[in-house]
Structure 1
Amino acid sequence: MEYTAEQAAAPAYLDAASAAPLHPVARQALVAALEDGWADPDRLHAAGRRAQRLREAATATVADCLGVRADEVTFLSSGTAAAHAAVLGGLGGRARAGTTFVHSAIEHSAVLHAAARHGDAAEVGVDLQGRLDLDAWRTAVSGPGVALAALISASHEVGTVQPVAAAAEACAEAGVPLYVDAAQSVGHAPVPPGWSLLTASARKWGGPPGVGLLVVRKGTRWLSPYPGDDLHRPRPQGALDLPAVVAAAASLRAVLAEAKTEAVRLSGLVNRIRATVAATVPDVEVVGDPVERLPHLVTFSCLYVDGEALLHALDRHGFAVSSGSSCTASTLRPSHVLEAMGVLSHGNVRVSLHRGTTEADVDRFLAVLPGVVADLRKEAGM
């Protein structure tokens, strides 16, 4: 198949849900923080005190952005580390209340791995749109011996926004703390209140990699799952990458200032992708709620197409996307989220946009995609 010069233009990065490009403010803050943030902020000398002031300012900024107290915020080495600390620490702190961990079927793999390590877990399903079964959730969290519940704020695979407020209300009635993985929401959409623990990842909102965020609300029992650590308040394992933390905080503030405008713009581009893919690619299923969704993310599955082959074909034409399960992309196994929804779980593509995505990027993608899918089906003899 031949492509025009316009279609063969510069590469388009469409995988922001995995890691968004570094925000300009993050880049500026990172360079500036390298001057004063290299020392150990726990030391008492002048260099340490300068670093300590930077750490306190970054913590206060993030707390203000999220509407929480500064002493509820902890920076960890990644979103995965934060998720593990939230689950294992939350369960440890509630050991006297019970051992059961209730979670949705569409949690990120980091949460599911923590659940598997814990052993005593109860999974709650979702509907065809990827939304939590609230009736089943209420039943599960009100059962005996439930220590902790977990619900992702919005599906990282298909973008469907979850009923966090209603789920939190059910947890409150049962006296069970709720952990919310807000990695895809922070920077794009508000997270409803009512949760006890929350995690996020800076690289999802345009901050640097290597910065995870854990928030433990006052009154929530949390016990460190790590040896030789503070038993009552989360602390990072090892040295904190303070310049990266400063950049993460600065970029979060900048992203939130742009969030409403960007949500409108990106949602319009996603609507175009949803409609055009459905109209131009035969045997395709666009999944996830078309309305109650994140503004920057869309997933579709193509029948008779191998997901890995589709990913590589699009990459050759300059489009970086996710295929397979986005949180286990290296394995390229079928998505556990799509399987839980009961929709086509093979040949899927997740497109996720960012502040640098242009209409031209989307137009080129939509122009190239039908031919790529047709060529792969032809090669497979379909």
Structure 2
Amino acid sequence: AALRADTALACLQSANHEVGTVQPVAAVAEACRAAGVPLLVDAAQSLAWGPVDGAWSLLTASAHKWGGPAGVGLLAVRKGVRFAPQGPVDERESGRVPGFENLPAIVAAAASLRAVRAEAEDEAARLRTLVDRIRARVPELVPDVEVVGDPVLRLPHLVTFSCLYVDGETLLHALDEADFSVSSGSSCTSGTLTPSHVLRAMGVLSEGNVRVSLPSGTAEAEVDRFLSVLPGLVAGVRERLGAPVGPLARTGAAADAPSLVVDALGKLCPIPVIELAKVIGDVPVGGTVTVLSDDEAARLDIPAWCEMRGHEYGGRQGTAYLVRRLV
């Protein structure tokens, strides 16, 4: 759909940096070739694990992603592809870049890539087993968790999950105090307080998002320790935020109260969803709750909560979100 008559260049990640899903580069490259559009592939996250298949036109990567020196980038231009730099240039490097190259760092980048690729197959198999354990065990150990990304077509070392009723930044701090360095794509950790565009496009939960990246050499014992401390940390964050515990669909709700309004204006993720969960049982089945929220993350998290809980999301008008209780 992106290949219109005026498309000058198509760009694609070989694998998504946030959730680890591997993209169909070869198929996209063929579609681009048929349309006469060059394809630029960002292979920063995947190049350490193997070559990028397909007749792409240009490929980029960053050496620090495979343990090489920071500040060294890689640009591969396929023979026959017309390429002209847009910035200042001089006679060096065939007129592609200005100034003197950092040759020691360039050599180190190539040497480090060669070294990690020599061990990539065995290490990828080992890390994939550890990631499979995280993907399977986290939903068993922690209630109300959504693991995102393709379970099969993915990088071997990445796993991302979202915890309902959790402030992502608070959870990251708690994990940091337990000596685990992870990241998040949730709205709670961005400077703009908006959900990750990747999670938004996937339509999944953004609150309490945790991205775990296992570096080469990660020990099995460290994964086991992570799984042992995570449930308590999540429970602690939920308790501090006043999140509901257990099922809240109460019986005997007053038939004369078919609708409620929750005023969560000015409150940030995950408070609007927590307030919704607290009152959904106060309306009868078929009744509605209107959540008033000006938090950007609510656009993603309220529909995701409805899908997780089996309720109907009735849409949004301005800052008002309509939810109908179905169970």
- TM-score over 0.5 for the pair: yes
Partner of 2:67: 206
CA distance in 2, matches of 1:216, 1:170: 19
Question: Quick one: distance in 2 between partners of 1:230 and 1:161?
Answer: 38
Structure 1 residue ranges (4+ consecutive) displaced by more than 3 angstroms after TM superposition: 228-239, 328-333
Partner of 2:233: helix, strand, or coil?
Answer: helix
Tell whether 2:16 aligns with 1:161. no
Aligned-residue CA RMSD in angstroms? 2.1
Q: Could you say which residue in structure 2 is the equivalent of 1:301? A: 162
Cα offset, 1:299, TM superposition: 0.3
Distance 1:297 1:380 in 2: 28
SS at match of 2:143: coil
Q: CA deviation at 1:240?
A: 2.8
Aligned to 2:33: 172
Partner residue, 1:371: 232
Q: Distance in 2 between matches of 1:231 and 1:245?
A: 15
Q: Could you say if the C-alpha distance between residues 221 and 255 of structure 1 is closer, same or farther in structure 2, counting changes exceeding 3 Å?
A: same
Instruction: Quote how far apart the aligned CAs of 1:224 are.
Output: 1.3
Counterpart for residue 104 of structure 2? 243
Matches within 5 A, 1:298-337: 298-324=159-185, 333-337=194-198
SS of alignment partner, residue 162 of structure 2:
strand
Tell me what 1:255 maps to.
116
Q: Structure 1: how far apart are the matches of 2:200 and 2:9?
A: 24
Match of 1:150 in 2: 11
Cα distance in 2 for residues equivalent to 1:203 and 1:292: 24
- The sequence identity of aligned pairs, in percent, is 69
Which residue identity does 1:309 align to in structure 2?
Answer: T
Alignment of 1:259-298 (within 5 A): 259-298=120-159
**8 A Cα contact 1:322 1:350, kept in partner:** yes
Correspondence for 1:342: 203
Question: Which structure has the bigger radius of gyration?
Answer: 2
Q: CA deviation at 1:334?
A: 2.1
1:161 is displaced (CA, Å) by 0.7
Distance 2:105 2:64 in 1: 10
1:98-113 residue pairs with structure 2 within 5 A?
Answer: none
Q: For residues 248 and 348 of structure 1, what CA distance do their matches in structure 2 show?
A: 32
Cα 1:329–1:240, aligned 2, differ >3 Å: closer, same or farther?
Answer: farther
The secondary structure found in structure 1 opposite 2:47 is coil
Whether the 8 Å CA contact 2:88–2:97 is kept in 1: the answer is no
Aligned to 2:52: 191
Q: CA 1:232–1:187 in 2, change beyond 3 Å: closer, same or farther?
A: closer
More helix by share: 1
Distance 2:67 2:95 in 1: 24
The one-character-per-residue Cα deviations of 1:71-124 (angstroms, maximum 9, x if unpaired) are: xxxxxxxxxxxxxxxxxxxxxxxxxxxxxxxxxxxxxxxxxxxxxxxxxxxxxx
Change (3 A) 1:365 1:199: same
* 1-structure distance, mates of 2:212, 2:131: 9
Shift of 1:358: 0.5
CA deviation profile, 1:189-228 (whole Å, cap 9, x unmatched): 3311210000011111111211111111122122211134
Partner Cα separation in structure 1 for residue 150 and residue 95 of structure 2: 35
CA change 1:331–1:259 in 2 (3 A) is farther
Task: Give 5+ residue unaligned stretches, structure 1.
Answer: 1-135
SS of match in other structure, 2:49:
coil
Kindly indicate whether the alpha-carbon contact (under 8 Å) linking 1:223 and 1:232 is maintained by their aligned counterparts in 2: no
What pairs with 1:27-176 in structure 2 (closer than 5 Å)?
136=1, 140-141=2-3, 143-176=4-37
1 or 2 for the larger relative contact order (CA 8 Å, sep ≥6)? 1
Letter in structure 2 aligned against 1:335: S
**Secondary structure at the counterpart of residue 322 of structure 1:** coil
- Deviation, structure 1 residue 331: 5.9
1:324 and 1:333 in contact (8 A); partners too: no
Q: What is the SS of the residue equivalent to 1:151?
A: strand
2:301 equivalent in structure 1: none
Contact 1:303 1:347 in 2 (8 A): yes
Partners of 1:189 and 1:276 lie apart in 2 by 28
Conserved 8 A contact 2:89-2:96: no
> Could you tell me how far apart the structure 2 residues matched to 1:216 and 1:190 are?
15
Residues 322 and 329, structure 1, Cα contact 8 Å, conserved in 2 = no
In the alignment, structure 1 residue 222 sits paired with structure 2 residue 83: yes
The amino acid that maps onto 1:147 is A
